[in-house]
Structure 1
């Protein structure tokens, strides 16, 4: 009997008192906090640990004259909510969240009074705001991305190319009130102005913006123009052809030509599109590029199943090796260059190392290079192909040029070479090129498309006689390089001035550059091409020093 009575008293002590035991005079918001929505074992211990202090604190709360506080739908969620009007007030626990431990301490009653006064001030001092209004987030100050303005101002052409390739800026973006091209041309502090202009044009800068007063405003606007019209616009002299040096004038005029835009459309949507930038590294040879782009366009449309084999022939110093070297770098594909003058047999061809100083150093032979890039786009340059000691060394090219596969060693499997681009350079037919050029009615005028096609037909028999008909029949196209025009010679000489005076180029005005160019032109040798102009410019600069 004694045990039954003891067990009954223990159970009765742990059971919560009914809700009506809470005094009726307690405020409604305190009453809500003391009545849990869902009783649980944790709530049983929370309300019975200190019943006397709880009632004492509740009576204290009923005496406070505070503004009515709207209750949250659930007393549990109200712990994590904060009214938007209190964003500038210190974050205090709300009265409805007082724990039993805090209620048991008498010194916490002063905090309740302070909190009540804080709530009263915030409600009366600030205008009501909707709880649906989102507060503006606070962000850290991030480092700005490099812009085209900073890249041009750095006077580093590689920075300009990096910004344009990344897509962070476009070549036709405005740099302040000017277009990027106009800003570069009018900046007298740039030592590499010519290179930056070429980079902008290569990535699609529109030269017509130089004629737009909104994109190329004058530095000084006269109150009355020449016709007496107020606020007339005059194009800055540096952006006019007359105010440019011969090289810059040539590239800007070339980019603005309708023929340039038409030629670029041939490979605009193909893998070979980056090759359109080569016209800002290679001076002249517009018809060579047009025929090359046509061949690449046919191949990209799968109208031809044979590998691409292009033979670049013509006089020395006219850009054949430069075009072959730029081919792989512009397409961002690996390149292997073979010096054909060192070959003695077929075995020497496949075991030859790359000899170009512009390529990444590699210890791979041509056979290893083709195996490493099997089924992938790559370029093989056969430099001075006609100067091989034994023409029989070229017989091993018959099968890969026709079928796109061959065995690099006896008894080994065939290697897939269908995506290899073969480029051969040669001086074959250079006499034919000069004879045809001089036989035209007016040799000083640029050659036309029909005349260039006639020259292509005349050059092919000479190549066949030198390399053999069996090898030539597997060549996709033969592209003869033609002599330079006067404007092209001047552009070559002007670029030679900039390359030889890299650190003091900005001290030379366009007029100074053109004066050096005109003195170097009489020393031009057609059979040597650009090399003779570089030598003549170098001699002029030495005399000036």
Structure 2
């Protein structure tokens, strides 16, 4: 990442994820991808999101998807389960058989792993996820979205999987990635590669997974939820620990912004969950902007005015926009301010 201020180190240390900040230096030749993973995982944990984190790794075989997942697990000292989805034709292949069927008592590697990691942070790497059947994906979504799962073995209990980091690996987008690399990155040195925006590539890849259906109203609902969440007071004591807070979003052009989020982020197979994930990316961007300050936070901040941030679309080039989050300063807000 760029400069890592004392606030980011404070938050990382409080959540025991300081080694994560070294992730971009552990993978050779995958600096942009490692940086995105670092930002996503850091922001998800710092915001204390009570849903599992879903990441999609797209790219050519043999170019580091599995290695990046393993390195992320290692720097965080997290157990990792790698699952080959290519041969999964039904949900039993991944989650195990249900009551009344043979071998139910054996469960499955995924079922048993989730039960073992009950309530703990862990990583599940689903290789070749794009090759699964719709019914397999739907069964997994029931685990990924609420973060709760029932062990399928006899006398199985409810399992808390809310801290699980799910990585969905796919070979889709090979040609788009190869073309972007040859046009934008191939002739650059390592220092300059980090300065190139990969937002156009992310949008191109998103088209492979998305259905252009209008979901702006849903995006707006989720955005308001994050707006409320970041206004919560700072708390430095466990278990309530919350070091990201006492802030306010000013959303500029909320209608256009939410339409953009819906168009870029909606995935038909994931439904509203994909919109929630896309909106959470804005929450992640806020957390990173909030963290890049060389000043630690404490509960005395709650006595002062809310720190104000502006969320809006900005143009990258003539054809590409992205959502940006920028700090404005502080403002005193009484009640709920209407969005401008």
User: Normalization by structure 2: what TM-score?
Assistant: 0.52
Q: Determine the C-alpha separation between the residues in 2 that align with 1:368 and 1:324.
A: 20
Match of 2:28 in 1: 283
Q: Determine the C-alpha separation between the residues in 2 that align with 1:439 and 1:327.
A: 29
Match of 2:179 in 1: 435
Q: Determine the C-alpha separation between the residues in 2 that align with 1:474 and 1:366.
A: 22
User: Shift of residue 449 of structure 1?
Assistant: 5.0
Q: Determine the C-alpha separation between the residues in 1 that align with 2:123 and 2:270.
A: 19
Q: Determine the C-alpha separation between the residues in 1 that align with 2:35 and 2:209.
A: 21
8 Å contact from structure 1 (residues 312, 320) kept in 2: yes
* Alignment map for 1:383-462 (pairs within 5 Å): 383-388=127-132, 390-409=133-152, 413-440=157-184, 443-445=186-188, 446-447=192-193, 449=195, 451-462=197-208
The alpha-carbon distance between structure 1 residues 400 and 277, as it changes in their structure 2 partners (threshold 3 A), is same
8 Å contact from structure 1 (residues 271, 300) kept in 2: no
Match of 1:324 in 2: 69
The alpha-carbon distance between structure 1 residues 391 and 401, as it changes in their structure 2 partners (threshold 3 A), is same
User: Shift of residue 473 of structure 1?
Assistant: 5.5
Q: Determine the C-alpha separation between the residues in 2 that align with 1:327 and 1:381.
A: 11
User: Shift of residue 448 of structure 1?
Assistant: 5.3
Pick the aligned partner of 2:46 from 293, 296, 301.
301
Partner of 1:276: helix, strand, or coil?
helix
Match of 2:273 in 1: 474
8 Å contact from structure 1 (residues 314, 428) kept in 2: yes
Q: Determine the C-alpha separation between the residues in 2 that align with 1:349 and 1:299.
A: 26
Partner of 2:60: helix, strand, or coil?
coil
* Alignment map for 1:227-376 (pairs within 5 Å): 259=2, 265=8, 268-269=12-13, 270-302=15-47, 304-351=49-96, 365-376=109-120
More strand by share: 2
Structure 2 residue runs without a partner (length 5+) = 98-106, 212-265, 282-340
1:217-275 deviation per Cα after TM superposition (whole angstroms, max 9, x unaligned) = xxxxxxxxxxxxxxxxxxxxxxxxxxxxxxxxxxxxxxxxx84757x957743433223
User: Shift of residue 364 of structure 1?
Assistant: 6.3
Q: Determine the C-alpha separation between the residues in 2 that align with 1:292 and 1:472.
A: 23
* Alignment map for 1:481-496 (pairs within 5 Å): none
Q: Determine the C-alpha separation between the residues in 2 that align with 1:380 and 1:277.
A: 21
User: Shift of residue 277 of structure 1?
Assistant: 3.8
1:73-116 deviation per Cα after TM superposition (whole angstroms, max 9, x unaligned) = xxxxxxxxxxxxxxxxxxxxxxxxxxxxxxxxxxxxxxxxxxxx
Q: Determine the C-alpha separation between the residues in 1 that align with 2:108 and 2:134.
A: 24
Q: Determine the C-alpha separation between the residues in 2 that align with 1:351 and 1:301.
A: 33
Partner of 1:294: helix, strand, or coil?
helix
Match of 1:379 in 2: 123
Q: Determine the C-alpha separation between the residues in 2 that align with 1:460 and 1:473.
A: 16
User: Shift of residue 374 of structure 1?
Assistant: 0.7
Match of 2:323 in 1: none
Partner of 1:322: helix, strand, or coil?
helix
Q: Determine the C-alpha separation between the residues in 2 that align with 1:303 and 1:329.
A: 21
Match of 1:463 in 2: 209
* Alignment map for 1:122-137 (pairs within 5 Å): none
Partner of 2:172: helix, strand, or coil?
coil
Q: Determine the C-alpha separation between the residues in 1 that align with 2:199 and 2:94.
A: 32
8 Å contact from structure 1 (residues 400, 417) kept in 2: yes
Q: Determine the C-alpha separation between the residues in 2 that align with 1:437 and 1:326.
A: 23
User: Larger RCO: Structure 1 or Structure 2 (Cα < 8 Å, ≥ 6 residues apart)?
Assistant: 2
User: Normalization by structure 1: what TM-score?
Assistant: 0.34
8 Å contact from structure 1 (residues 401, 474) kept in 2: no
For these two proteins, the number of residue pairs brought into alignment is: 210
1:462-518 deviation per Cα after TM superposition (whole angstroms, max 9, x unaligned) = 1236x95232763647x9xxxxxxxxxxxxxxxxxxxxxxxxxxxxxxxxxxxxxxx
Q: Determine the C-alpha separation between the residues in 1 that align with 2:210 and 2:70.
A: 25
More helix by share: 1
User: Shift of residue 280 of structure 1?
Assistant: 4.3
Partner of 2:270: helix, strand, or coil?
helix
